[in-house]
A and B are shown apart, each in its own frame.
Chain A
Amino acid sequence: MRRLARWRRVPWPSILYVGAVLLFLFAPLAIVVLFSFHSSPRMAFPFQGFSLRWYEEIFTDVEVVRAMGRSAIAAVTTGLVTAILGTLAGLGIVGLSSRTKGAVMFFAMIPMSFPALLFAIGLAVYYRELGVGFSLGATIAGQIIQSLPFVLLVISATLDRFRFSLIEAARDLGAGAFHAFRTITLPIILPAVLGSMLLAMALSADEFIVAFFTAGQDKTLPLIMYGRINIKLDPSINAIGTVLLVVTSALAFISARRTSKESL
């Protein structure tokens, strides 16, 4: 009887819903991973058997390996810089009057609505006029602009309902500003900061257009991938995507564990 009661208490509809959403989210990724092991150069069913040939192909390709390194640098730098700039700005925005806040957020959101292609071309023309040239750094600088609004919006949405009385109470009790930030504000916003940092990294790792126009000869992984698609559409691009997926989820997992220890 008791077991039956517990069975009834299990929130089946919720579990089904979450399962369905995750299934939908991961369906194309499962296909990407599956075909990265395909023995045939065909990326469609029927599946003809497993092979590691595409991994062998990409890891023995110096150009791909170098591009992996550059993309890793770009993703980490973009993630860190965006998180710092975005968190600071998010904290600053909370302190503004609601009208100023609206205006600031409005301008902050423009890069999202501006077609990436145009931003990339504008940036390239601008770099040329400044005479700074095209490089990985130039690309990272542009990718930071692209992910900053996302980070800012997530963080300010989190801080929006934040009770500042908590901080004032802590300050009244003699806590220093930094101490209050570390013990109260930071733990509350940390999941949001981390999530948006990962988002920034994902956007950077996958970003093609800004890189195409500003990377010069410092080609990132997406540039190599898109280039390959022109001449031979085969599962080596799936293998690259799978490597990207594994590395970034490992990274996400480590940082998620760290955050949950500190804050949750």
Chain B
Amino acid sequence: MSHRVIRGGAIAAALTLTTVLAGCTGGGGGGETPTGSGPIDPTACDGVTLSFIGLDGEQGDKELADWRAEHDMTLQTTSTADMSQLIAAIKSGQQFDLATMTKDDAQRMVEGGIFQALPTERLGNWADMVPGMAESSNIRDADGVIYGAPIAWGDGPFVYRPDKAEIVDDRLSILDLTKPEWKDRFVLFNSPGRSFYFIGNALGFDSPNLTPEELEEVAATAKTLVQNAAAFATNYQDATDRMVSGDVDLVINGWQAQVAAAAERGVTLDWGYFDEGRTGWWDAIAIPTTAQNAECAALYIDQMIGVDAQVQIAENLISGVVNTQAIEATAGGPADVYDYESSVMDPTTNVFGPMIPQEDVPDGMTSYQDWLDAWEQITSGS
């Protein structure tokens, strides 16, 4: 075969590809959006198959099993704890009807356009949503449109091994962790939010509103914190595993469920709060733009925030409930570790307030992108 023939073949192949690619522009989405008005038809899910992507255990697999059977409905789960993978999967056009939306990434997920608006006025159980969640700016875009329904929450303690780390009264300052005695003894998540928020407060600034100069100061302290940390935890399970195996003694952003998970493995954990405040977490369910069954998805979300499902979810996840009518029922159960009054019942407390700069940044203040850039600089080790 002569070179000319090979070259000819290559050109032909390239032309074919170009033709194929010409069809590749545009496209995107193509999903269905909820169309009706008024309450959602209770039969919207009959015979439907919904697909969910996100945190396994937060899709109502057990909690809504009976409800699904009643409606002859099927739920398919694609499990991932990595929000980056979840975002990429939806962005690349995979079809999902439901997806996890975590508090820390919620703003970017919403602005990134991977979710469609949630018709909360059509959800029968939305009226009972705890005010701290219902009024949260994190579930909204800049215009106030709501995109996700929180289904579980916690108040974001640090979790530690009391047999290895003595912490008086379960109180600690984030600055303590930058000291040599904590070198390589704790893990944190690979995201600037909590660290910058706490450090900003510790340095006397008004987190998350930081000027560029303040951010620089915060970043310098955060660099010591990151260098002092043993590693990044990829998720709560990973952090628990590292504490159980004795590699680290503390995780900065923890969850009370870790205590139960560690107890099962014969290790005692405890939790406490930083002097610089509490930053709660919540996980929500939202409807991706690629959804095929948005009506049913909305109905399913409504079930997830209903009293029955909430009580069970709280027990299974050791989380707080989002339905005011469900709070009573969790008393005395395994999830009875949260103080509702000081966290979710009063929307003015800071537990679920913005921990990171919101999309409409006040003049002269740093944006979340600035935070991310500073974080990338810190973690590059350069």
Contacts and interface: CB of A to CB of B under 8 A. Distances in A.
A125 interface: yes
B27 interface: yes
B80 interface: yes
B145 interface: no
A233 B6 contact: no
Contact of A227 (B51, B79, B92, B93): B79
B266 interface: yes
Given A44-B244, A124-B92, A231 B80 contact: no
A124 B235 contact: no
B56 A228 contact: yes
Contacts of B23: 129
Interface residues of A, number: 29
Contacts of B27: 128-129
Contacts of B73: none
Nearest to B27: A129
Interface in B207-247: 235, 237-238, 240-241, 244-246
B92 A217 contact: no
A233 B237 contact: yes
Given A128-B27, A226-B80, A233 B56 contact: no
B3 interface: yes
A224 B24 CA distance: 31
Given A121-B88, A125-B93, A134-B94, A230 B235 contact: yes
Interface in A107-150: 117, 121, 124-126, 128-130, 134
> Lowest 9 CB-CB distances: which A-B pairs, in order?
A227-B79, A128-B93, A230-B81, A42-B265, A124-B92, A44-B245, A129-B24, A231-B57, A233-B237
Given A134-B94, A228-B56, 7 more contacts: A42-B265, A125-B93, A128-B27, A219-B78, A226-B79, A232-B237, A232-B261
Interface of B: 3, 6, 20, 23-24, 27, 51, 55-57, 76-81, 85, 88-89, 92-94, 235, 237-238, 240-241, 244-246, 261, 264-266
Interface of A: 40-44, 100, 117, 121, 124-126, 128-130, 134, 212-213, 216-217, 219, 223, 226-233
